[in-house]
């Protein structure tokens, strides 16, 4: 039985929980323990060998070209928003000799790959879509669909003439530092050799799809694909949400209930004959009001508005009082509720977070009950974990799908599906015969960086990045590391955190452009952190992560807590950095000082 809870009764600090809070803590722990998996982030199967077809690019024909052998100033690995922003800022700073390499057939990163029906972004478009003032683009609504976001990425590329600087359908296989050349030497899947003075590794965080760690995926006799490579040829429809007319009469299974599955389900439910949703852990799903853009308002915005709006969002999220909540969405409401409770209160912040968190989750569990008519199904769809444990989802139709007679929730109660057979999915010991299985099982997030990048990265004296990061990442500012001169990474590690990932990328791009253009101006051959500066930064990031671990280590497993394996000893690799405004201000001050503090400079 779910514990009943009167949120207003939660006056006592969490150190002395009320019986209701204690019951809830027990319930959360019980649900977490069901889901802990010894294999952690390595539980998944990669799309390689017999499963390699799951990763094939369905969107672009094979590109035929001869291998190139070239020298450039900057090689950018990745043509998503990270690569696009880096290129834009470099060009602004006068560095034009750029090569962008991406395994995709065009720019756009995750928005190139993810074209499943219903795909959209649940971070507000006015802050998520970068460079709106520069491109003069007006988003159609508060939350933009994937096709629109992808078109915007292509627009940014066009604005900067980046097409001519890109090699698509090309994977960088290795990056090796040559001390004698003072260049990185890249080899690619096309037989290219590219020598670059600087490398920016903007590979993204959700680019390498993975499949569930179960047997039999390769034996299924029906059709199957991953949500990140949607097969419209099979389902019918398109990325603009035309009906999936080819699955009428078909039995469809979708494995996974994260953000992708939630957005795709309503489309499957409208067309599929029978739709089976295999759930390991329910997502929390809030409503998503999405008004169209008021053009009069948009046109009245003053220069500098986008940075100001994004900053307002980040400051609210980091608990800095603001006169106004410009973005006014689920994220800011959550933080503002905390602030309101914390005002004039001597209650510790952790207890306030708990109180607000419980209230928010109770309201989301009630939302399930209000929408889903069948009691047993509603119970199984309730999320039993803290609000920030998994990426919160927002959708107006998802829960209602479970009222459709053709949609069946197969709740595995934390166990996940058992296996795939020739005929379908075996779950809770029962075989569900299917015509098609869609794996909405997410992306590789927490494994070794080089594994996720699919590149061998060798710094000075043949030291690989995997060896250097054996005990966890080691960087200065999350961007540059010793023994890997002139190699800049854009990651979520040892830096700052935000649900607005393009906001983080904007800051990384600004910093990378500064480092590279200054090196050029000052005649610098190589830059890398001093041992002391890197060690101090790693220690600082470790302390920040450990201070924040409390919340996440108690969380149900998910990619945000490395599938439940987060602990003080792994804190170095946690994506729990500084609040964005703190990080951004620190880097801004660092750049303004102009001394490149903590960086060893070689001018030889
Ligand atoms: P997720 O990693 O969020 O979800 C994967 C799903 O697969 C989870 O429900 C997971 O269950 C389930 N799963 C994994 N293994 C098994 C198994 N063996 N049996 C059954 N189920 C299994 O992937 P998504 O593609 O949904 O989303 C990835 C991320 O992309 C999001 O979290 C978000 O950050 C981003 N995204 C953002 C969007 C936006 O609007 N901003 C839209 C779409 C994606 P469990 O929870 O138990 O691990």
Chain segment 360-403, per-residue pLDDT in tens: 999 999 999 999 999 999 999 999 999 989 999 999 999 999 99
Phi, psi (rounded to 5 degrees) for 412: -100, 5
Q: Same structural domain for residues 271 and 183?
A: no
Token digits of residue 36: 């802990």
Residue 503 pLDDT greater than 50, yes or no:
yes
Q: Rounded to whole angstroms, how far apart are CA atoms 327 and 307? A: 12
Domain boundary among 441, 476, 503: 441
Q: Tell me which of 256, 439, 447 to substitute to probe ligand 1's pocket, judged by most ligand atoms within 8 Å of the beta carbon.
A: 256
Same domain, 174 and 246: no
The answer, yes or no, to whether residue 315 has pLDDT greater than 50, is: yes
% of the chain exceeding 90 in pLDDT: 79
Pair 430, 519 in one domain: no
pLDDT in tens, 77-90: 999 999 999 999 99
257 lines ligand 1 (CB under 6 A): yes
Cβ pair 419, 189 in contact under 8 A: no
Residue nearest to atom 21 of ligand 1 (CA): 256
* Res 72 pLDDT > 60: yes
What pLDDT, on the 0 to 100 scale, is given for residue 468? 95
Q: Is residue 452 part of a domain?
A: yes
Q: Which of 11-20, 510-519, 595-604 is most confident?
A: 510-519
Is the pLDDT score of 57 beyond 80? yes
Same-domain check for residues 203 and 260? no
Residues 493 and 373 in one domain: no
Task: Name the domain count of the chain.
Answer: 2
439 has pLDDT over 80 = yes
Tell me if 46 sits within 8 A of 451, measured CB to CB.
no
pLDDT given at position 15? 56
**585 domain-assigned:** yes
Which amino acid residue places its CA nearest to atom 19 of ligand 1? Answer: 416
CA of 200 to the centre of ligand 1 (A): 28
Angstrom CA distances, 465 to 233, 451, 481, 600, stand at 40, 10, 9, 19
552 C-beta closer than 6 A to ligand 1: no
Statement to judge: residues 336 and 464 lie in one domain: no
Choose the final residue of a domain: 416, 441, 466: 441
User: 354 with 482, same domain?
Assistant: no
Residues 525 and 582 in one domain: yes
477 and 573 part of one domain? yes
Q: Is 32 among the domain residues?
A: no
Total-model pTM: 0.94
What distance in angstroms lies between residue 323's CA and the mean position of ligand 1's atoms?
A: 35
- Does residue 14 belong to any structural domain of this protein? no
The set of residues, in sequence order, having a beta carbon less than 8 Å from that of 595 and lying 6+ positions away, is: none
Tell me: pLDDT of 502 over 50: yes
Please report, for the domain that includes residue 78, its CATH number. Answer: 3.50.50.60
Q: What is the mean pLDDT of residues 506-530?
A: 97
The residues facing 201 across adjacent strands are 77, 489
Q: Of 259-268, 274-283, 449-458, 493-502, which gets the smallest average pLDDT? A: 449-458
Q: What's the mean per-residue pLDDT of the chain?
A: 92
The Cα 254–Cα 401 span in angstroms is: 13
Probe ligand 1: pick from 111, 206, 441, max atoms within 8 Å of CB?
441
**Contact by Cβ (8 Å): 239, 147:** yes
- Region 305-325: what's the mean pLDDT? 94
| pLDDT per residue as tens digits for the range 99-156 | 999 999 999 999 999 999 999 999 999 999 999 999 999 999 999 999 999 999 999 9
Q: Is residue 562 part of a domain?
A: yes
CA of 260 to the centre of ligand 1 (A): 7
Three-state secondary structure call for residue 22: helix
Residue 56 inside a domain? The answer is no
Range of the domain at 168: 69-116+150-208+445-602
280 part of a folded domain: yes
Of all protein residues, whose CA lies closest to atom 3 belonging to ligand 1? 258
Instruction: Look at residue 183 and tell me whether its pLDDT is greater than 90.
Output: yes
CA of 258 to the centre of ligand 1 (A): 3
Q: Which ligand 1 atom sits nearest the alpha carbon of residue 442?
A: 23
386 domain residue, yes or no = yes
**β-pairing, 424-427 with 419-420?**
antiparallel
Of 441, 472, 502, the last residue of a domain is: 441
Determine the distance separating the centroid of ligand 1 and the alpha carbon of 233, expressed in angstroms.
24
Does position 474 have pLDDT exceeding 70, yes or no? yes
User: Do 503 and 578 belong together in one domain?
Assistant: yes
Q: Which residue, 263, 254, 260, is CA-closest to 290?
A: 263
Q: Measured between alpha carbons, how far is 541 from 496 in angstroms, rounded to an integer? A: 10
Q: Which of 7-21, 77-91, 174-188, 236-250 has the lowest mean pLDDT?
A: 7-21
* Tokens of residue 31, six digits: 């649900």
Residue ranges of alpha helices (H) inside 397-530 are 449-453, 465-468, 501-521
| C-beta 499 within 6 A of ligand 1 | no
Alpha-carbon distance 10 to 358, whole Å? 9
Q: How far is the CA of 564 from the centre of ligand 1 (A)?
A: 15
CA 204, CA 197: separation in Å to the nearest integer? 21
Q: Residue 549 and residue 554: Cα distance in Å, rounded?
A: 8
The answer on 366 and 222 residing in a single domain is yes
Q: Can you tell me which atom of ligand 1 is nearest the CA of 143? A: 40
- Looking at the fold, whether 269 and 200 belong to one and the same domain comes out as no
């Amino acid at each position: 039985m779910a514990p009943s809870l009167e949120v207003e009764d939660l006056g006592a600090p969490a150190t002395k929980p009320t019986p209701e809070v204690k019951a809830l803590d027990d319930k959360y722990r019980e649900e977490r323990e069901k889901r802990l998996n010894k294999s952690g982030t390595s539980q998944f199967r990669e799309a390689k060998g017999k499963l390699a077809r799951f990763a094939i690019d369905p969107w672009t024909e094979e590109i035929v070209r001869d291998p190139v052998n070239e020298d450039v100033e900057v090689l950018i690995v990745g043509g998503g928003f990270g690569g696009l922003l880096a290129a834009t800022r470099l060009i602004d700073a006068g560095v034009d000799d750029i090569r962008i390499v991406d395994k995709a057939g065009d720019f756009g990163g995750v928005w190139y790959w993810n074209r499943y029906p219903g795909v959209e972004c649940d971070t507000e478009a006015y802050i998520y879509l970068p460079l709106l003032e520069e491109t003069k683009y007006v988003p159609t609504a508060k939350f933009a669909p994937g096709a629109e976001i992808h078109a915007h990425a292509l627009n940014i590329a066009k604005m900067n003439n980046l097409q001519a600087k890109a090699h698509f359908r090309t994977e960088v296989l290795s990056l090796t530092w040559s001390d004698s050349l003072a260049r990185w030497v890249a080899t690619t899947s096309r037989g290219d050799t590219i020598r670059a003075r600087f490398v920016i590794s903007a590979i993204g965080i959700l680019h390498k799809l993975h499949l569930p760690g179960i047997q039999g995926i390769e034996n299924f006799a029906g059709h199957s694909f991953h949500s990140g490579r949607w097969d419209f040829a099979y389902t019918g429809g398109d990325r603009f949400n035309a009906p999936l007319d080819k699955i009428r009469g078909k039995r469809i299974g979708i494995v996974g209930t994260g953000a992708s599955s939630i957005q795709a389900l309503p489309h499957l439910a409208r067309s599929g004959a029978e739709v089976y949703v295999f759930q390991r852990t329910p997502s929390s799903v809030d409503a998503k009001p999405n008004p169209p853009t008021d053009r009069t308002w948009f046109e009245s915005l003053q220069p500098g508005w986008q940075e100001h709006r994004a900053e307002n969002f980040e400051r609210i999220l980091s608990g800095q009082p603001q006169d106004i909540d410009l973005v006014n969405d689920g994220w800011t409401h959550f933080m503002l509720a905390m602030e309101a409770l914390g005002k004039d209160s001597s209650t510790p912040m952790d207890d306030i977070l708990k109180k607000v968190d419980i209230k928010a989750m109770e309201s989301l569990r009630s939302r399930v009950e209000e929408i889903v008519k069948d009691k047993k199904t509603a119970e199984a769809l309730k999320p039993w974990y803290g609000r920030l444990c998994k990426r919160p989802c927002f959708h107006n139709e998802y829960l209602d799908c479970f009222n459709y007679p053709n949609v069946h929730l197969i709740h595995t109660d934390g166990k996940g599906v058992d296996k795939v057979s020739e005929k379908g999915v075996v779950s809770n010991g029962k075989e569900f015969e299917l015509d098609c299985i869609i794996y909405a099982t997410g992306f590789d997030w927490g494994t070794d960086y080089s594994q996720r990048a699919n590149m061998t990265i060798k710094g000075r004296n043949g030291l690989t990045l995997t060896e250097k990061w054996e005990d966890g990442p080691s960087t200065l500012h999350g961007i540059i590391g010793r023994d890997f001169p002139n190699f800049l990474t854009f990651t979520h590690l040892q830096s700052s955190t935000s649900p607005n990932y393009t906001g983080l990328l904007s800051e990384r791009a600004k910093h990378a452009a500064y480092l590279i253009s200054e090196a050029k101006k000052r005649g610098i051959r190589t830059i890398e952190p001093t041992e002391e500066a890197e060690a101090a930064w790693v220690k600082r990031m470790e302390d920040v992560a450990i201070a924040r671990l409390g919340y996440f280590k108690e969380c149900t497993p998910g990619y945000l807590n490395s599938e439940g394996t987060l602990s003080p000893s792994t804190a170095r690799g946690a994506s729990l950095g500084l609040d964005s405004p703190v990080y951004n201000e620190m880097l801004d001050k660092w750049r303004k000082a102009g001394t490149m503090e903590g960086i060893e400079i070689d001018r030889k």
